[in-house]
């Protein structure tokens, strides 16, 4: 209540509007200044994401191949055991 007596509301509104314009201007300058960095970061994250996806595909293929080799190994052990029993 005491603040109203010292600063008229119209002056306070005008000061706040001026401050708002200054903040908007500073925000736009900051965005414009760092926009290229932001775009580069975004692009780098997309590249990293696609690289990780490629690695996961390769990992899946390696896992599948190792599983196949393990199955072949079991088959050859079985054939070897059977051949040894027949001799």
pLDDT in tens, 24-54: 888 888 778 877 777 777 777 777 877 888 8
CA dist., res. 35 & res. 29, Å (int)? 10
Percent residues over pLDDT 90 in the chain? 9
d(CA 52, CA 59): 10
Domain ranges of the chain: 2-86
DSSP track, 45-66: HHHHHHHHHHHHHHHHHHHHHH
Residue 19 clears pLDDT 70, i.e. is over it = yes
Task: Output the six-digit token pair for 31.
Answer: 């965005």
Let me know how long the chain is. 87
């Amino acid at each position: 209540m005491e603040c109203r007596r010292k600063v008229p509301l119209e002056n306070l509104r005008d000061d706040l509007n001026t401050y708002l314009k200054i903040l908007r201007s500073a925000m736009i300058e900051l965005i414009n200044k760092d926009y290229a960095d932001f775009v580069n970061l975004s692009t780098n994250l997309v590249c990293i994401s696609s690289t990780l996806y490629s690695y996961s595909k390769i990992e899946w293929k390696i896992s599948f191949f190792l599983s196949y080799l393990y199955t072949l190994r079991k088959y050859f052990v079985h054939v070897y055991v059977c051949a040894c029993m027949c001799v």
